[in-house]
Amino acid sequence: MSKVIVYVVIALVVIIVGNILLPVPRAAIEVAAEPIGLGPITNAMLTSFILSAVILIIAFIVGSNLKEKPTGLQNLVEIVIEALSNFVNDIAPRKWAPVFFPILATIFIYLLFSNWFGLLTPLLGSFGLVHSTDHGGIPVEKVMFIRGSADTLTPLHHGEEGAAEGEEAHAEGAAEETHAKGKQALIVPLFRAPSSDLNLTVGLALVSVFLTQVFGVWELGLGYFGKFFQFGSFAKKGFGLGLIDVFMGLIELISEIAKILSFAFRLFGNIFAGEVILIIMSSLVSLLLVNIFFGLEIFVGFIQAFVFFILSLVFFSMATHSHGGEHSEH
């Protein structure tokens, strides 16, 4: 145990001293997805479109070249589909399993691609639109410009949204050049893992919770909402027990709304934190040690996609099966 402590202390000393003697610029970290000059489209949205296209292309290639004895990509796809299908058939009511499966499988596959895309963050975070900034950037001398130069940088102060074209800044002349020279540059990445954007995770959470209510009403009719509003218990059980049922119904309603927050922030928090860890560790330690965190993020990305899949499956099933039994008893 003492040797482990010594090794940890030595590693920390090497990291601290190394960063003092050989400082490494760190990428700026933004919680919100950044616009990339394409109107309302952000880098997370652009990546989402690309990943969706990749998934569709893979599905088309596999679907148009099916073999009786699967090999390669078809074999991998069939293993994933079969595993997901088994989960749905084991948990969901038999009547609803064929309805749930395509929805849940799509969510899982999309989230898996989205989560694992975050592994490319240290690489793709170095490509994007360059702006001058007052803090949180890197010296402009260390930036390689594919188009334009440090003289044409557009100022981007903390808290500003949007991106102006470099030519507009260039038109301002020497004043702009003075502003850019010797300042720091901020790179707005063109690509970002969609699941590290809270907008996407909230959207998926709303879809999952909304479909839960849809399937519940589809199976039980408007009586499904009786578990939230149990005012009829006053007549059946009296004031005391009726009040308890009403209170429990309100708790059930609050928990249903809380599912949205739970879904959204669990997924967003884990994936965004993973991106931050990879960015920071890439500038602190050697590539060999960073590989450990890559392995961890591969596991976390899979687990988060699976957790979203399995929880949605359970909620769908409860809305169409478990509550049905309670409804008939009352």
| Same domain flag for 150 and 291 | no
Of 112 and 9, more confident: 112
Helices 43-64 and 72-91: crossing angle, nearest 10°?
100
| Same domain flag for 77 and 154 | no
Q: How far is CA 185 from CA 21, 142, 165, 169, 179, in A?
A: 22, 9, 15, 14, 11
Domain range holding 106?
Answer: 62-122+194-329
Structural domain contains residue 42: no
| Same domain flag for 151 and 207 | no
Whether the predicted pLDDT of 186 surpasses 80: no
- Residue where one domain finishes, among candidates 170, 189, 208: 189
Structural domain contains residue 161: yes
- Residue where one domain finishes, among candidates 189, 209, 231: 189
- Residue 245: how many other CB atoms lie within 10 Å: 19
Whether the predicted pLDDT of 325 surpasses 80: no
Of 147 and 265, more confident: 265
Strand segments (E) across 53-189: 128-133, 138-139, 154-155, 184-189
| Same domain flag for 159 and 286 | no
Q: With b meaning 16 or more CB within 10 Å and e meaning fewer, what string describes 268-288?
A: bebbbebbbbbbebbeebeee
pLDDT at res. 144: 66
How does the average pLDDT of the chain come out, rounded? 77
Question: How many folded domains does the chain comprise?
Answer: 2
Which of 43-52, 133-142, 316-325 shows the highest mean pLDDT? 43-52
Residues 209-262: tens digit of each pLDDT: 999 999 989 988 887 887 777 766 666 776 677 777 777 878 888 888 899 999
Q: What percent of the chain has pLDDT over 70?
A: 65
| Same domain flag for 222 and 289 | yes
Structural domain contains residue 104: yes
The neighbouring-strand residues paired with 35 are 42
Distance CA 32, CA 10 (A): 36
Decide: 231 and 246 in contact? Cβ < 8 Å. Answer: yes
Whether the predicted pLDDT of 152 surpasses 50: yes
| Same domain flag for 206 and 71 | yes
| Same domain flag for 237 and 110 | yes
Residue 130 DSSP class? E
| Same domain flag for 252 and 322 | yes
The neighbouring-strand residues paired with 130 are 187
- Residue where one domain finishes, among candidates 189, 216, 238: 189
Distance CA 107, CA 208 (A): 10
* Spatial CA neighbour of 104 closest among 217, 195, 204, 197: 204
Whether the predicted pLDDT of 132 surpasses 70: no
Residues 53-106: tens digit of each pLDDT: 999 999 999 888 888 887 788 888 999 999 999 999 999 999 999 999 999 999
- Burial (CB count within 10 angstroms: exposed 0-12, middle 13-18, buried 19+), residue 71: exposed
DSSP 40-72: TEEHHHHHHHHHHHHHHHHHHHHHHT--SS--H
